[in-house]
């Protein structure tokens, strides 16, 4: 079923929704993808409730939204997103003295069964990033993917990097979610890959282009282009699985945690606001340890049911 248009809202409802969308873009620095999702979910909420003024919103209404979403066979993650958008919106209305209490508080979304992130093992990363090609564009690609894996960057963090973000002391300044900056060390291999790219970057970019990574046309490379190039590289390197940019970030987190056991450090390196977000990697680490135990311990076979 198509999402209703924002024009279907009353003037009062549309006014506050548009103010909220500007707020989360300008003040909170949320991505355009998140803003688009919030916009869509809040329009759906207004449509379900046929609401004319957000001030009339009650907890009973929120529960009606929850029930309607379940009847429409919405996935738990979609319902959680809908309630999250509504909770943030109501909190904004409270800050603007347009609402007294947050009606979403106390309403629980269905459990989502959070999936574990997928990652490549060390040998697979070696296979992916070891290329004998020396073409300029391959130099750029290897620099991008060595940096993503070497620093655990999000895709948007990579494409928004500027030349000035790469510092002479071997660090890189990264702007993450909410425009929060963090300083990360660049490893030896990634540093060499960036050096190789910078030697040929001038063949594509003008002296006025600030972006670190550019397309063949000389402008800042897009997220989609990065994904396509990684997919092509994986095929060229004989990988037998799909590889996407976020998988490099997951691989970084898993490998650093396996080697160091320092969850707090991994949190800082990834730029996670909450430790709970990083803790998902402890489950991956346990799976790795469990496999080692099953193959190495003399009594493990009984536990796994082997004879």
Give the catalytic positions in this structure. Answer: 154, 177, 246, 249, 272, 281
User: How far is CA 301 from each of CA 221, 289, 294, rounded to the nearest angstrom?
Assistant: 51, 15, 7
Task: Determine the Cα–Cα distance for residues 201 and 215; give it in Å rounded to an integer.
Answer: 10
Instruction: Look at residues 218, 245, 217 and name the one whose alpha carbon lies nearest to residue 229.
Output: 245
Task: Determine the Cα–Cα distance for residues 258 and 263; give it in Å rounded to an integer.
Answer: 10
CA-based torsion, 244, 249, 254, 259: positive or negative: positive
Kindly state the tokens that stand for 130. Answer: 């070891």
HSE-CB of 33 using CA atoms within 13 angstroms: 4
Task: Determine the Cα–Cα distance for residues 220 and 205; give it in Å rounded to an integer.
Answer: 9
Sort 230 into a burial class: Cβ within 10 Å, 0-12 / 13-18 / 19+: buried
Kindly state the tokens that stand for 297. Answer: 């311990």
Question: Are the CB atoms for 257 and 281 separated by under 8 Å?
Answer: yes
Paired sense of beta strands 181-185 and 171-175, if any: antiparallel
Question: Are the CB atoms for 245 and 156 separated by under 8 Å?
Answer: no
């Amino acid at each position: 079923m198509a999402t209703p248009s924002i024009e279907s809202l009353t003037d009062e409802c549309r006014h506050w929704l548009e103010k909220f969308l500007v707020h989360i873009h300008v003040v909170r620095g949320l991505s355009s993808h998140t803003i688009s999702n919030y916009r869509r979910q809040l329009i759906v909420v207004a449509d379900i409730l046929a609401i004319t003024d957000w001030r009339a919103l009650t907890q009973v209404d929120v529960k009606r939204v929850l029930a309607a979403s379940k009847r429409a066979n919405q996935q738990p993650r979609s319902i959680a997103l809908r309630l999250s958008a509504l909770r943030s919106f109501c909190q904004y209305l409270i800050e603007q003295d347009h609402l007294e209490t947050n009606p979403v508080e106390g309403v629980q979304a269905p459990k989502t069964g959070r999936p574990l992130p997928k990652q490549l093992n060390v040998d697979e990363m070696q296979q992916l990033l070891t290329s004998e090609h020396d073409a300029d564009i391959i130099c750029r690609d290897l620099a991008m993917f060595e940096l993503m894996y070497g620093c655990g960057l999000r895709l948007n963090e990579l494409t928004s990097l500027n030349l000035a973000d790469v510092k002479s002391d071997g660090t890189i300044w990264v702007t993450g979610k909410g425009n929060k900056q963090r300083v990360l060390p660049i490893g030896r291999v990634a540093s060499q890959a960036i050096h190789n790219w910078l030697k040929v970057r001038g063949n594509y970019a003008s002296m006025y282009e600030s972006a670190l990574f550019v397309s063949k046309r000389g402008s800042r490379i897009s997220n989609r282009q990065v994904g396509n190039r990684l997919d092509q590289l994986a095929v060229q390197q004989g990988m037998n699985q799909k590889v996407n940019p976020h998988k490099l970030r997951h691989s970084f987190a898993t490998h650093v945690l396996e080697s160091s056991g320092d969850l707090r450090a991994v949190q800082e390196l990834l730029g996670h606001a909450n430790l709970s977000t990083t803790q998902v990697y402890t489950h991956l680490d346990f799976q790795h340890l469990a496999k080692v135990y099953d193959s190495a311990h003399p009594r493990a076979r009984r536990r796994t049911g082997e004879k």
